Amino acid sequence: MKVANLHEIGNLQYEEKPMPVVKDDEVLVKIKCCGVCGSDIPRVFTKGTYHFPTVIGHEFSGIVVKDKKEELTGKRVAVFPLLPCFECEPCKFQNYAACNNYDYYGSRRDGGMAEYIAVKRWNLVELPENVSFLEGAMCEPISVARHAALKLNIKKGDNVLISGAGPIGILTGRWLKLFGAKDIYFFDIDSRKIDFIKENSFKAYSENMKYDCVIEGTGHSKAIEQCLDAVKPYGKIVFLGNPSGDIMLSQNSYWHILRKELTVLGSWNSSYNEVQNDWKESLLALSEGYIKAKDLVTHKFPLSEVCRAFCMMNNRNDFYNKVMICTDEEEIKNEK
């Protein structure tokens, strides 16, 4: 089969690899679509994965083509990429995202930028009939966005500022609007992204405003300081963005936390358990039309052009929002 294999930092190759061996607790999934996450860019160009080589990609959907039990063959599925140990203290309470010994498709083990993958049955989420494979591959960022949005416990009429106008930021904004927020504002260093959010019925950040709640989605010190300055006294701020390095706060920014008596929350991954399941709720929202995601996909590449896709994103010469890798040209046509 063909895969996107990361051999070392900066060395992503489109190449052949043997078909995966399917264990008793797994099924074989033929990948249809796999999204490129913002975290995949440093993974390929600066940070690397946990071992080499690694087939990258953790936002993917497909169809089950082999099931030893013959229960799931033919099912259209999305895949929750985190594999918990089920034994540590967080896992005992089904807090799987906080697992002490987790594995992960696309970074710690081979992921979804391939023609096929062996997937644990537990990680499969069946797609509703009217949800496309492309939307199924968006279920991971939609679920991450929902998880963060819920943290704010939004009140009807709240104004929210979101730092970072990428796919997860916009999806978070859409959830917050659904939860009752009045207006959603964005700031981003890329003016093209601000133009894009305006086309999506959101507003641009104003220095003259203070905001009831803030989502920080970039992980950069300057953006965090701007968020702490922009939030109202007694407001809430959720940290969602992965940091690219150490976070430094000025004394004045730290004072904002104290003097405004802010509620500061972290958001990591998404909930996937019997009590709260962001994935099932996200697919339900997609199916019923409450949340839209297809319109965020600005680029689609066949798997054979995965290296060109990553170079385009890393160079940032072209504007993009969500970039999707599809298994073949026909799949790209099907998803238009």
Segment 13-37, tens digit of pLDDT: 999 999 999 999 999 999 999 999 9
Q: What angle do CA 124, 297, 105 make, to 5 degrees?
A: 30
- Tell me which architecture the domain covering 145-266 has in CATH: 3-Layer(aba) Sandwich (3.40)
Is residue 143's pLDDT more than 70?
yes
Is residue 330's pLDDT more than 70?
no
pLDDT at 10: 97
pLDDT at 332: 73
Helix axes 251-259 and 221-230, enclosed angle (nearest 10):
40
pLDDT at 317: 86
pLDDT at 327: 87
pLDDT at 123: 98
Residues in the chain: 336
pLDDT at 329: 67
CATH of domain 2-138+293-334: 3.90.180.10
- The total of other beta-carbon atoms located within 10 Å of residue 126's CB is 15
pLDDT at 244: 81
Is residue 314's pLDDT more than 70?
yes
2-138+293-334 and 145-266 in the same fold: no
Q: Helical H runs in 1-101?
A: 40-42, 89-92
Q: Which residues contact 288 (CB under 8 A, 6 or more apart)?
A: none
Q: What is the mean pLDDT of residues 275-288?
A: 97
Residue among 123, 121, 171, 139 nearest 281 (CA) = 139
Predicted confidence (pLDDT) per residue in 288-310, tens digit: 999 999 999 999 999 999 999 99
pLDDT at 335: 54
Check residues 242 and 328 and name the one with the higher pLDDT.
242
Q: What is the mean pLDDT of residues 224-232?
A: 97
| % of the chain surpassing 70 pLDDT | 98
Q: What is the mean pLDDT of residues 241-247?
A: 90
Is residue 114's pLDDT more than 90?
yes
Is residue 158's pLDDT more than 60?
yes
Is residue 336's pLDDT more than 90?
no
pLDDT at 328: 65
Stated pTM of the model: 0.96
Domain residue limits, the chain:
2-138+293-334, 145-266
Instruction: Tell me how far apart the alpha carbons of residues 257 and 104 are, in angstroms, rounded to a whole number.
Output: 34
Question: What is the average pLDDT score of the chain?
Answer: 96
